[in-house]
C-alpha cells in the first residue's frame, strides 16, 4: 500500500522540524568549535576526568581497568561510568582529541534518538509530520535534557526507540530475513546498553520493552516470537557481561551493596508530588518535602534558566590542542580539581604526581582507594 504524497503544508512542517533538530544538535556540539567542552554538573565532576584517565591509558598502551590517578587507586572498569569496553568509546578516545571525543559522545545520544523514534513512530503508522514532531519532543524532552550530566544513562535511553522498532519487527514481520536481522540488532543493542556501564537505566529500558511486548503481543505472528526475543536479549546480556561482572564486583565493595534505611529513603517523595505528572509547575517551589528541596531547586533552576545549563558559556571549560585546560570558569565540586589535574598533566610522567584524594566524589563508596596516592603507582610502577 503506497502512502499518499504529503501536502505542501505538511512538507513545510516536516522540513521545519528537521531544521530545528539540526540547529539543536549544532547548539550542543558548538563548544567544541571554540576548543571547549561541556562541564556542567557531573560532566565536569566525574565524566570528563574519568575519560581523561581512560584516554591517557589508551594512548600510553596501559591497562584501563585500574587508575592510580583517582582516589589514590580506583577500579575504574568496575565503576563503569566511562563504558571503557564499548567499541564507540574506544574509537572516540583512542583516535580523537579529548574535547572532540567527549563532545561527540555527549551529542551522539541525542543525534541517534531522533531517527530512532521517527522510525518507531512511522512503524506505528503516524503521519510524517507527526512522527517527526514526536521524535523531536522525545529527543529534547525535559527528562533527556535535564539528565544531560548523566551522559552514559542518556546513551542507554538513545537505544530504546531502536530496540522497540526491531522488537516490533521481530514480533510481527512475516519475512524471515527481517526477523533474523531484528534478532541480531536486538542482541547488539542490548549488549551496547550494558557496555555503557549504567545498569539502572538498562533495567528501565527492559521494563519499557516488556510493556511494549505486552501491547503488541496480540498482533504477533506467533507466540514463539517472544521466545526468539528472549534469546536475543540473553545473547545481548552475554555481550555485555564484560561490564556486568566487574560492576557486580565493585558493588560488593561499596556501602551501597548493603544500604541503610536512611540511605534507601534519601530523596523519597511526598505523595503530593504525583501532581507533577499532570501539572509540573503546580506545586509552589516545585516539590513537597524538605529533604528534596535543595536537589529539586537545582533541577528546576536549570529548567527555568537560573543556570546556564548544558548550552551555556558558564558550563564550559576551554581545552588546548593537547587537551589541557587553559581557561574558563572553575566548576566547584569534589572531583573537578582531580579532573583539572588529569586534563592538564596528561600523565606526562615528568615528575611527582599529587592528587587531592581527600576530596572524594562520593564518600559512601570504598573503591579500594588509599588514604594517600602511592608514588610508584602514580608513576606507572617505575
* Distance of alpha carbon 110 from alpha carbon 21, whole angstroms: 9
Q: What is the model's pLDDT at position 291?
A: 53
> Nearest 5°: phi and psi at 172?
-120, -15
Looking at the structure, tell me whether residues 293 and 243 fall in a common domain.
no
Residue 358 domain flag:
no
Bridge partner residues of 318 (DSSP)? 36, 327
Report strand pairing: 316-319 vs 325-327: antiparallel
Mean pLDDT over 8-12 rounds to 87
Residue 59 domain flag:
yes
> Nearest 5°: phi and psi at 325?
-70, 130
**How many residues are recorded in the chain?**
382
Looking at the structure, tell me whether residues 52 and 130 fall in a common domain.
yes
Structurally, the chain folds into a number of domains equal to: 2
Half-sphere exposure of 370 (CA within 13 A, CB side): 14
Looking at the structure, tell me whether residues 71 and 208 fall in a common domain.
yes
Bridge partner residues of 179 (DSSP)? none
Q: What is the model's pLDDT at position 2?
A: 57
- The parent domain of residue 265 ranges over 259-305
Our separate counts of H helices and E strands in the chain read 17, 3
The closest of 276, 343, 271, 360 to 48, measured between CA atoms, is 343
> Percent of the chain, pLDDT > 70?
73
Looking at the structure, tell me whether residues 123 and 227 fall in a common domain.
yes
- 84-88, 261-265, 336-340: least confidently modelled range: 336-340
Looking at the structure, tell me whether residues 102 and 197 fall in a common domain.
yes
Looking at the structure, tell me whether residues 241 and 183 fall in a common domain.
yes
What SS3 state is found at 67? Answer: strand
Q: Which residues contact 360 (CB under 8 A, 6 or more apart)?
A: 71, 334, 335, 369
List the grid coordinates of 186: 536486538
Residue 4 domain flag:
no
Q: Which residues contact 257 (CB under 8 A, 6 or more apart)?
A: 251
DSSP 197: T
Task: Give 239-281 as a DSSP string.
Answer: HTHHHHHHHHHHHHTBGGGS--HHHHTTTPPPGGGGGGGT-TT
- In the chain, beta strands by DSSP E: 36-38, 316-319, 325-327
Looking at the structure, tell me whether residues 138 and 235 fall in a common domain.
yes
Q: What is the model's pLDDT at position 259?
A: 79
Give 359-363's long-range contacts (Cβ < 8 A, gap of 24+): 359/334, 359/335, 360/71, 360/334, 360/335, 361/45, 361/46, 361/334, 361/335
Quick: pLDDT tens for 43-96: 888 888 889 888 988 888 888 888 777 777 778 888 888 899 999 999 999 999
* Residues 99 and 37: beta-carbon distance below 8 Å: yes
Q: What is the model's pLDDT at position 14?
A: 92
Sign of CA dihedral 354, 356, 361, 362: positive
The closest of 323, 230, 303 to 32, measured between CA atoms, is 323
* Residues 66 and 75: beta-carbon distance below 8 Å: yes
Mean pLDDT of the chain: 77
Mean pLDDT over 17-31 rounds to 93
Q: What is the model's pLDDT at position 42?
A: 86
Quick: pLDDT tens for 225-253: 999 999 999 999 999 999 999 888 888 87
* Distance of alpha carbon 116 from alpha carbon 135, whole angstroms: 8
Looking at the structure, tell me whether residues 143 and 245 fall in a common domain.
yes
Q: What is the model's pLDDT at position 12?
A: 92
Domain boundary residue, one of 214, 235, 255: 255
* Residues 32 and 311: beta-carbon distance below 8 Å: no
More confident residue, 197 or 74: 197
Looking at the structure, tell me whether residues 102 and 186 fall in a common domain.
yes
* Residues 301 and 307: beta-carbon distance below 8 Å: yes
* Residues 341 and 67: beta-carbon distance below 8 Å: no
Count other Cβ atoms within 10 Å, centred on residue 140: 17
Residue 364 domain flag:
no
What SS3 state is found at 87? Answer: helix
Q: Does residue 195 surpass a pLDDT of 50?
A: yes
Looking at the structure, tell me whether residues 251 and 264 fall in a common domain.
no
**211: confidence class by pLDDT, cuts 50, 70, 90:** very high
Looking at the structure, tell me whether residues 88 and 185 fall in a common domain.
yes
Mean pLDDT over 252-280 rounds to 78
* Distance of alpha carbon 120 from alpha carbon 236, whole angstroms: 21
Q: What is the model's pLDDT at position 121?
A: 96
**340: confidence class by pLDDT, cuts 50, 70, 90:** very low
Q: Which residues contact 88 (CB under 8 A, 6 or more apart)?
A: 105, 108
Looking at the structure, tell me whether residues 110 and 162 fall in a common domain.
yes
What's the order of all strands across the beta sheet hosting 316-319?
36-38, 316-319, 325-327
Amino acid at each position: 500500500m503506497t502512502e499518499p504524497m504529503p501536502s505542501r503544508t505538511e512538507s513545510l512542517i516536516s522540513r521545519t522540524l528537521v531544521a530545528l533538530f539540526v540547529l539543536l544538535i549544532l547548539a550542543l556540539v558548538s563548544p567544541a568549535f571554540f576548543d571547549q567542552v561541556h562541564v556542567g554538573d557531573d560532566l565536569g565532576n566525574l565524566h570528563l576526568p574519568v575519560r581523561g584517565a581512560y584516554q591517557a591509558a589508551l594512548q600510553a598502551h596501559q591497562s584501563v581497568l585500574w587508575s592510580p590517578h583517582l582516589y589514590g587507586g580506583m577500579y575504574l572498569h568496575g565503576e563503569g561510568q566511562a563504558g571503557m569496553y564499548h567499541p564507540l568509546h574506544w574509537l572516540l578516545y583512542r583516535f580523537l582529541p579529548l574535547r572532540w571525543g567527549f563532545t561527540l559522545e555527549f551529542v551522539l545520544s541525542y543525534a541517534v534518538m531522533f531517527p530512532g523514534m521517527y522510525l518507531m513512530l512511522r512503524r506505528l503508522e503516524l503521519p510524517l509530520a507527526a512522527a517527526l514532531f514526536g521524535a523531536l519532543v522525545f529527543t529534547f524532552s525535559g527528562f533527556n535534557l535535564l539528565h544531560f550530566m548523566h551522559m552514559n544513562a542518556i546513551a542507554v535511553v538513545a537505544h530504546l526507540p531502536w530496540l522497540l522498532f526491531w522488537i516490533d519487527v521481530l514480533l510481527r514481520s512475516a519475512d524471515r530475513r527481517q526477523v533474523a536481522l531484528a534478532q541480531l540488532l536486538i542482541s547488539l543493542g542490548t549488549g551496547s546498553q550494558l557496555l555503557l556501564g549504567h545498569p539502572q537505566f538498562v533495567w528501565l529500558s527492559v521494563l519499557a520493552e516488556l510493556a511494549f511486548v505486552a501491547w503488541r503481543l496480540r498482533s504477533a505472528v506467533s507466540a514463539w516470537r517472544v521466545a526468539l526475543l528472549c534469546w536475543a536479549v540473553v545473547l545481548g546480556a552475554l555481550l555485555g557481561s564484560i561490564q556486568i561482572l566487574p560492576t557486580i564486583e565493585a558493588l560488593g565493595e561499596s556501602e551501597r551493596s548493603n544500604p541503610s534505611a536512611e540511605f534507601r529513603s534519601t530523596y523519597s517523595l511526598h505523595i503530593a508530588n504525583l501532581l507533577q505528572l499532570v501539572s509540573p509547575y503546580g506545586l509552589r517551589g516545585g516539590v513537597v518535602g524538605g529533604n528534596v528541596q535543595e536537589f529539586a531547586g537545582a533541577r528546576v533552576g536549570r529548567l527555568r534558566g537560573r543556570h546556564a545549563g548544558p548550552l551555556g558559556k558558564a558550563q564550559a571549560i576551554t581545552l588546548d590542542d593537547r587537551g589541557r585546560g587553559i581557561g574558563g570558569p572553575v566548576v566547584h565540586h569534589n572531583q573537578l580539581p582531580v579532573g583539572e589535574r588529569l586534563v592538564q598533566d596528561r600523565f606526562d610522567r615528568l615528575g611527582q604526581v599529587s592528587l587531592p584524594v581527600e576530596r572524594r566524589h562520593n564518600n559512601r563508596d570504598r573503591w579500594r582507594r588509599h588514604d594517600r596516592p602511592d608514588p610508584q603507582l602514580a608513576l606507572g610502577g617505575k
